[in-house]
Amino acid sequence: MADGSPTPATAPDPQPATTPTPDTDTDTSADSDTEPDPDRVQDRRDFARELSLLRDRAGLTVRQVASKVGAYGAHSTLGDWFAGRGLPSTASRDLFTKVLAACGAGDAAQVERWTAAWRRVRRAPGPRPTGPEPYRGLSSFQPEDAAWFFGRRDLTEQLVARLGELKAAGGGVQVVVGASGSGKSSLLRAGMVAALRAGALPGSADWPIALFTPGDHPSAALAAVRRVRGAGGTGGTPAVLVVDQFEALAWRPPGSGPGPAALMRP
């Protein structure tokens, strides 16, 4: 099982587009002669006003901020922050820090002041959700997030059925491809892996599953492959190896570590 990024084949459809937030939203703007000051923030409206003022001082639109931080599909989310319709979640803390840096508030002292303001607003009195936060921002859904993973049931069932066919054939490789940001990692993790662990296929709840991203440590990834292969293959028990971002191995320079062929060896 591998995840690459060519043209979509059996890939999840991109998440439905949200209505773009206009960059001209001025409901929470402050006096143009006022310097942004996170210490003034006491509630969500204050937070949006000061954050918008910081962006104005940088001479950026919401779309330009999204482009600078590499969050091309998240300008509506950022627009909600600037307009006071939403706050950064704990899952989007890193994105919030990047937004601050893009707007010229990237040094440690400034980030700490803005983070303190964000915490004050999140602790402010008022109705608050009593359950876990279901949204993951720009992060992928994990197997433990399966209860919050919606809209991919058909694709999950197709993928699980394909694994059933591979098992019947004695094993094999299934590649999941799709455009960047279309949800491949979430489909693999909160969809397929969670379904297998829940027993979607006969005996799959007991199958050893290795789920990893090669990153900068392909040798550690290869060790994980060998461990899961050692755990499977006894008594007819299959082992499932899920390689997220498989292209990180395929594009590795020669001599810099094991490549994709190493995963295929017995």
Find the CATH number of the domain harbouring 55: 1.10.260
Q: How far apart are CA 114 and CA 111, in angstroms?
A: 5
Q: What pLDDT, on the 0 to 100 scale, is given for residue 90?
A: 86
pLDDT higher than threshold 70 for residue 118:
yes
Out of 36-50, 151-165, 249-263, least confident range: 249-263
248 and 161 together in one domain: yes
Q: Which structural domain range is residue 46 located in?
A: 38-123
Shared-domain flag, residues 112 and 7: no
Residues 160 and 55 in one domain: no
What's the CA angle centered on 206, arms 161 and 2, to 5 degrees?
A: 50
**How far is Cα 67 from Cα 73, in angstroms, rounded to an integer?**
9
**Burial bucket for residue 194 (CB in 10 Å: 0-12, 13-18, 19+):** buried
In angstroms, the CA 96 to CA 211 distance is 28
Please tell me the predicted confidence (pLDDT) of residue 142.
78
Is residue 91, in this structure, part of any structural domain at all? yes
Q: How would residue 131 be classed by pLDDT, with cut points 50, 70 and 90?
A: low
> Are 144 and 246 within one domain?
yes
Residue 26's pLDDT band (cuts 50, 70, 90): very low
Kindly state whether residue 130 falls inside one of the protein's structural domains.
no
What's the average model confidence in pLDDT over 42-65? 91
Least confident piece of the model among 63-67, 70-74, 160-164 = 70-74
The radius of gyration of the chain's CA atoms, rounded to the nearest angstrom, is 22
Which residues, in sequence order, are CB contacts of 264 under 8 Å at separation 6+? Answer: 173
| pTM higher than 0.85 | no
Q: Tell me the average pLDDT across 111-138.
A: 74
Q: What percent of the chain has pLDDT over 90?
A: 26
Task: Give the pLDDT of residue 20.
Answer: 38
**152 and 112 share a domain?**
no
Domain boundary among 123, 154, 170: 123
Residues 86 and 161 in one domain: no
Does residue 129 lie within any of the structural domains? no
Rounded to whole angstroms, how far apart are CA atoms 78 and 69?
11
Give yes or no: residues 112 and 146 share one domain.
no
- In the predicted structure, residue 213 carries a pLDDT above the cut 70: yes
Q: Of the candidates 45, 52, 42, 38, which has an alpha carbon nearest to the alpha carbon of residue 121?
A: 42
Given 64, 97, 123, the domain boundary residue is 123
| 251 and 170 housed in the same domain | yes
Both 161 and 230 in a single domain? yes
Q: Of the candidates 64, 91, 123, which is a domain's last residue?
A: 123
Does 117 share its domain with 164? no
Residue with more model confidence, 68 or 257: 68
Specify the number of domains making up the chain. Answer: 2
Q: For 196-223, what is the mean pLDDT?
A: 78
Q: Which residue has the higher pLDDT, 33 or 160?
A: 160
Mean pLDDT of 73-78: 74
Q: Could you tell me if residue 170 is inside a domain?
A: yes
What pLDDT sits at residue 235?
57
Residue 119 pLDDT more than 60? yes
Where does the pLDDT of residue 181 fall: very low under 50, low under 70, confident under 90, or very high at 90 and above?
A: confident
Domain assignment present for residue 194? The answer is yes
Asked if residue 254 and residue 212 are part of one domain, the reply reads yes
pLDDT at residue 262 above 90?
A: no
